[in-house]
Amino acid sequence: MKIFYDNQVFSQKYGGVSKYFAELIKAIGRFDVEIVFSKTLSENAYLPDKFKTSVGFFSNIKFKGKRSLLNFVNNQFSKGILRKGGYDIFHPTYYSPYFLSKNIRKPIVITVFDMIHELFPAYFSSFDKTVEYKNKVLRRADKIIAISESTKKDLCRLTNIRPEKISVIYLAGSLSEIFSKKITVPNRYLLFVGQRKGYKNFTFFIQSISPLLKEKKISILCAGGGNFSVDERKIISDLGIQDYVFQREVNSGELKYCYQKATAFVFPSLYEGFGIPVLEAFSCGCPVILSNSSSFPEVAGDAGIYFEPQNKESIFEAISTILNENFDKEYFINKGYAISNSFTWDKTARQTLEIYKKLT
């Protein structure tokens, strides 16, 4: 069986969606499957170099329109594969409808990661076409994969797509095989990973616990997500916690070290389709404190310590709990290991392969 994955998502350097496809491609390639992959200009951190035409396309150089340029060029490569055929299943890596005019006669599988654009439109530009494009490709898809029951429920409710067209296949963590790389970190800290804007709820979170940081002498380390913006720096300064909140960019090995040394990993997001960092933290023996919304209880189960993400008192109490000297850290670490071990990319690949087989 030949599976064609296009390259549209690999114009991003980091991100959960490209991590999912990179891990899926690696895992499913270990079965009796041939991966069809077009030429790709990319500096993605997860995609194996053998799939890249240019390793480090304008690496470390940022300019307006860079991602649009990558998308345009990579789409031309993918269109070439679509014209030639030579594959059995087409699994686009995101929602661009560039292929809809190609009269594709082979089955198409689409993975839906979340319904964030539909649920939180105020956080996105009025020019953002994600919702429009997603609806177009979902109508054409022969099968849809949702990455959690929460995502499937939202997808059915917001699009009226039949539930039987959608299969839930969970993701997994990606740090178990990565070597930890030591870096300088604060003495005691809560770890926040990735983007901080909008529904990620970072500002509300630090406002909720700023007195606790100073009282307990504990820091917040933000791994990734870019430098603090002018607005973020002002908020941090106004709260008087500039000596307690830090940001640094990290690679996978450094991120693993950050999890391993953290007092806890915090995930205050208002909504996530799955939340790979939850499993990353669990696999590193790091307790997890997170929102009780969307897919989080489904993924973290009874290993998570939950709070209401829009309730300052709830957040304060949850963080206070793990900082209490009577907190049973080992209990939650062991629970986390058990949950992390139950999610594997091998399982993701096997279940995805079953869907492919049913369509051919």
Grade residue 74 by pLDDT with cuts at 50, 70 and 90: confident
pLDDT at 13: 80
pLDDT at 76: 84
Look over the chain and give the mean of its residue pLDDT values, rounded to a whole number: 93
Query: Between 73 and 88, whose confidence is greater?
Result: 88
Q: pLDDT exceeding 90 applies to what percent of the chain?
A: 80
CB 245 within 8 A of CB 236: yes
pLDDT tens-place string over residues 268-318: 999 999 999 999 999 999 999 999 999 999 999 999 999 999 999 999 999
Tokens of residue 77, six digits: 């490569």
CB 300 within 8 A of CB 294: no
CA–CA dist 225, 249 (Å, integer): 7
Q: How many residues are recorded in the chain? A: 360
SS3 for 217?
A: coil
Helix, strand and coil content of the chain, in percent to the nearest 5, comes to: 45, 15, 40
CA–CA dist 343, 171 (Å, integer): 7
pLDDT tens-place string over residues 111-131: 999 999 999 999 999 999 999
Residue 99, CA distances (Å) to 80, 91, 246 in order: 11, 11, 43
Q: What angle is formed at CA 191 by the lines to CA 186 and CA 192, rounded to 5 degrees?
A: 130
- Examine the pLDDT at 80 and tell me if it is beyond 90: no
SS3 for 55?
A: strand
Going from the N-terminus, what domains does the chain have, and what CATH number goes with each? 2-172+344-359 (3.40.50.2000), 189-342 (3.40.50.2000)
Q: What is the DSSP string of 132-156?
A: HHHHHHHHH-SEEEESSHHHHHHHH
